[in-house]
């Protein structure tokens, strides 16, 4: 958090130079995106998901009833909503270049995921490559995306919500069939290998191959044609042309009744599907889900944003910026639950996809909030960034205090804080708690008195510096637990304590005694620059050193612990460094 503040502060002066030009070119007022509506929208979505999870966990709804809800949502409510939205959409106002940009971005991510999965996985599994690619490119456009987009853009760009119905077929009609082909090929290959007595003549083999290809093509075509979403998308466009985007009142009323039941039912169903899948989120099984989630929630949004900016779909710079930020927000939507259905149908990594879907849904919530806030920052003057950063730091610190206190209570009640490496983790959490308290003091205290400046600076700086050092110490302890012994790590405890708590205290004391506060920077409400460039240099130095040490030690643990031979090499390496 502090590093982000430092980077934004360093860019502030450069942005002020161009402010007059920006104001002249972009007269839009700040805050034209309804971010205030995002809080209740996110709360409503995840509250309904939680209700569904609780209902399933308490067996209030059986599997048969869940299947019935799924059929209603997928075959009636959602298709009706799609048909209604597309039939009443003014197609002449649709920015087709923007949709092409999203298609290109998704295709790039899809192909990269397929290639990387085929190169990394052993033995080669084309079905897994297709499934992972679908997971990373198909978003939950309707259940979660539609309420969020509607809440954010209902006043400025109400047509953006309708774009979701046009972007969904990009995955359903173009990309997903490629994944289905890969999964069908994997399915037929595995069945051919497992089928006994499959050593006929050459002619029979060729005939079998042709039949296999026809079966794959038929299965893919059938899955596309019979998909209610794809079918209703096509019918919706046809209805738009036939009725000139003005449906008859009777037909429109029926579709509205069915469509109005979609949001709550779909979110509730999503919570039901999470039952029994949360327990898989632990240990080494999180590695592959973590990579998939990172690609879906971080890589895909960035690729969409850059491709949209490259294609310039807007009539001017401001419209292109709006579309690129909307594309980024669209990419942050979590993976669609349908991916879990595909995994179940083809019996491919069912538990892995289930855990990935659960984690992706909840991790997407803060990312959607951050993305929406960044959209508003694009509309602010550079001088307004500081207030936004201060407000964001305060919100994060309050949430951080609750999280730190909860972890500390768990450690104390379970008495894990007495054990290694939990004792080091305990110190790390305490330092994070101190840093959060320092940020809150900075935001709330009156800085007109000298003692308040010193108080908040001491608390904040000690918390930030010590948290970075304790992170490095935790990585070092994990390495020595692997290659030396517990006794050796216990001997290092006094050194960790002196450096972890005494080091930041000495640095802060030296800053207070030898450097005068930069009052011009203090007025800018950023705790990282109270003592000017000296404080910034010290903060960056500690951060870089801690990062390098942590990364190097953890790489050693992962690299050398893969086998007994590497474990011996690791022990030899550690002894040579003593």
20 pLDDT tier (thresholds 50, 70, 90): very low
Q: How many other CB atoms are there within 10 angstroms of residue 199's CB atom?
A: 7
What is the average pLDDT value for the chain, to the nearest integer? 76
The answer, yes or no, to whether residue 9 has pLDDT greater than 50, is: no
More confident residue, 195 or 395: 395
Interacting residues of 522 by C-beta distance below 8 A, sequence separation 6+: 447, 453, 530
SS3 content of the chain, % helix, strand, coil (to 5): 85, 0, 15
Range in 199-208, 343-352, 561-570 the model is least confident about: 561-570
More confident residue, 280 or 212: 212
The CA angle 246-71-151, to the nearest 5 degrees, is: 50
- For 388-537, list the strands marked E by DSSP: none
421-444 residue pLDDT tens: 888 889 999 999 999 998 888 888
The answer, yes or no, to whether residue 411 has pLDDT greater than 50, is: yes
| The listed CATH number (3.20.20, 1.20.1530, 1.10.357, 3.30.1370) that belongs to domain 31-193+203-379 | 1.20.1530
pLDDT at 216: 67
Range in 155-164, 403-412, 459-468, 496-505 the model is least confident about: 155-164
Range in 375-379, 460-464, 521-525 the model is least confident about: 521-525
490 pLDDT tier (thresholds 50, 70, 90): confident
* Tokens 């930069």, residue located: 518
CA distance 125 to 555: 27
More confident residue, 342 or 97: 97
The answer, yes or no, to whether residue 447 has pLDDT greater than 70, is: no
Q: How far is CA 347 from CA 116, 212, 383, in A?
A: 21, 19, 54
CA distance 335 to 213: 30
The answer, yes or no, to whether residue 480 has pLDDT greater than 50, is: yes
Domain extent listing, the chain: 31-193+203-379, 384-576
Structure tokens at 72: 């209603």
565 pLDDT tier (thresholds 50, 70, 90): very low
pLDDT at 362: 82
pLDDT at 442: 82
CA distance 440 to 447: 13
The answer, yes or no, to whether residue 457 has pLDDT greater than 50, is: yes
Q: What percentage of the chain carries pLDDT values higher than 90?
A: 8
Report the SS3 class of residue 75: helix
The answer, yes or no, to whether residue 560 has pLDDT greater than 90, is: no
Tell me, letter by letter, the H, E, C secondary structure of 96-142: HHHHHHHHHHHHHHHHHHHHHHHHHCCCCCHHHHHHHHHHHHCECHH
The answer, yes or no, to whether residue 21 has pLDDT greater than 50, is: no
19 pLDDT tier (thresholds 50, 70, 90): very low
pLDDT at 192: 54
Structure tokens at 314: 């807007």
311-333 residue pLDDT tens: 988 888 888 888 888 899 899 98
pLDDT at 210: 63
- What DSSP string runs through 352-394? HHHHHHHHHHHHHHHHHHHHHHHHHHTTS-HHHHHHHHHHHHH
What average pLDDT does this structure show over 395-418? Answer: 87
Range in 271-285, 313-327, 388-402, 489-503 the model is least confident about: 271-285
List the CATH code of the domain at 384-576: 1.20.1070.10
Evaluate whether 363 touches 297 at the Cβ level (below 8 Å): yes
Q: What percentage of the chain carries pLDDT values higher than 70?
A: 75
553 pLDDT tier (thresholds 50, 70, 90): confident
250-304 residue pLDDT tens: 888 888 898 888 778 877 887 887 777 665 555 556 778 888 898 999 899 999 9
Cis before residue 421, ω within 30 degrees of 0? yes
CA distance 87 to 329: 25
The answer, yes or no, to whether residue 249 has pLDDT greater than 80, is: yes
Query: Is there a shared CATH topology between the 31-193+203-379 domain and the 384-576 domain?
Result: no
CA distance 569 to 341: 45
Select from 91, 89, 79 the least CA-distant residue to 254.
Answer: 79
More confident residue, 199 or 43: 43
The answer, yes or no, to whether residue 18 has pLDDT greater than 50, is: no
pLDDT at 186: 76
For the full predicted model, state whether its pTM sits above 0.85: no
Interacting residues of 492 by C-beta distance below 8 A, sequence separation 6+: 476, 477, 480
Structure tokens at 219: 């299965």
What average pLDDT does this structure show over 99-106? Answer: 92
pLDDT at 11: 36
The answer, yes or no, to whether residue 92 has pLDDT greater than 70, is: yes
The answer, yes or no, to whether residue 412 has pLDDT greater than 80, is: yes
What average pLDDT does this structure show over 41-59? Answer: 85
pLDDT at 104: 93
The answer, yes or no, to whether residue 364 has pLDDT greater than 90, is: no
| Main-chain dihedrals φ then ψ at residue 332, nearest 5 degrees | -80, -15
CA distance 440 to 518: 20
What average pLDDT does this structure show over 376-386? Answer: 62
pLDDT at 97: 92
102 pLDDT tier (thresholds 50, 70, 90): very high
């Amino acid at each position: 958090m502090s590093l982000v503040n430092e980077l934004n502060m360093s860019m502030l002066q450069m942005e002020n130079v161009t402010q007059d030009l920006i104001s002249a070119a972009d007269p839009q007022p700040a805050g034209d995106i309804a971010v205030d509506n995002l809080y209740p929208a996110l709360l409503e979505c995840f509250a309904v998901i939680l209700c569904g999870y609780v209902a399933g966990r308490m067996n209030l709804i059986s599997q048969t009833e869940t299947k019935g809800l799924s059929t209603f949502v997928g075959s009636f409510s959602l298709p009706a909503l799609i048909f209604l939205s597309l039939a009443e959409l003014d197609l002449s106002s649709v920015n087709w270049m923007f949709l092409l940009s999203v298609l290109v971005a998704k295709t790039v991510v899809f192909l990269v995921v397929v290639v990387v999965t085929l190169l990394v996985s052993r033995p080669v599994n084309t079905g897994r490559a297709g499934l992972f690619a679908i997971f990373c490119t198909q978003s939950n456009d309707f259940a979660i995306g539609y309420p969020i987009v509607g809440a954010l853009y209902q006043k400025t760009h109400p047509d953006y919500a309708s774009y979701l119905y046009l972007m969904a077929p990009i995955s359903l009609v173009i990309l997903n069939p490629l994944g289905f082909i890969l999964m069908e090929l994997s399915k037929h290959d595995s069945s051919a290998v497992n089928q006994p007595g499959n050593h006929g003549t050459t002619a029979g083999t060729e005939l079998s191959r042709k039949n296999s290809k026809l079966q794959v093509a038929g299965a893919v075509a059938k899955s596309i044609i019979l998909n209610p979403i794809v079918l209703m998308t096509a019918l919706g466009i046809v209805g738009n042309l036939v009725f000139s985007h003005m449906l008859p009142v009777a037909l429109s009323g029926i579709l509205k009744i069915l469509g109005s039941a979609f949001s709550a039912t779909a979110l509730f169903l999503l919570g039901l599907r999470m039952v029994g899948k949360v327990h898989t989120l632990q240990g080494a099984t999180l590695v592959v889900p973590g990579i998939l989630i990172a690609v879906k929630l971080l890589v895909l949004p960035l690729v969409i944003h850059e491709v949209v900016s490259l294609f310039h779909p807007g009539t001017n710079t401001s419209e292109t910026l709006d579309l690129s930020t909307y594309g980024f927000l669209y990419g942050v939507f979590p993976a669609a639950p349908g991916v879990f259905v595909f995994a179940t149908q083809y019996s491919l990594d069912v538990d892995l996809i289930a855990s990935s879907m659960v984690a992706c849904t909840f991790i997407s919530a803060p990312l959607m909030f951050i993305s929406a806030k960044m959209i508003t920052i694009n509309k602010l003057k550079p001088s307004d960034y500081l207030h936004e950063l201060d407000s964001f730091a305060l919100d994060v610190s309050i949430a951080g205090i609750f999280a730190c206190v909860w972890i500390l209570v768990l450690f104390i009640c379970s008495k894990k804080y007495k054990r290694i490496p939990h004792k080091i983790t305990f110190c790390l959490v305490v330092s994070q708690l101190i840093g959060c308290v320092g940020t809150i003091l900075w935001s709330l205290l009156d800085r007109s008195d000298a003692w308040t400046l010193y108080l908040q600076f001491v608390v904040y700086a000690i918390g930030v510096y010590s948290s970075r050092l304790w992170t490095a110490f935790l990585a070092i302890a994990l390495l020595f637990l692997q290659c030396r012994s517990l006794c050796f790590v216990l001997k290092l405890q006094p050194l960790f304590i002196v450096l972890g708590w005494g080091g930041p205290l000495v640095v802060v004391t030296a800053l207070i005694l030898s450097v005068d506060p930069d009052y011009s920077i203090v007025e800018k409400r950023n705790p990282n620059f109270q003592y000017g460039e000296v404080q910034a240099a010290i903060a960056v130095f500690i951060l870089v050193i801690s990062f390098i040490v942590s990364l190097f030690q953890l790489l050693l643990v992962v690299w050398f612990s893969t086998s007994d031979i590497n474990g011996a090499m690791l022990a030899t390496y550690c002894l040579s460094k003593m």
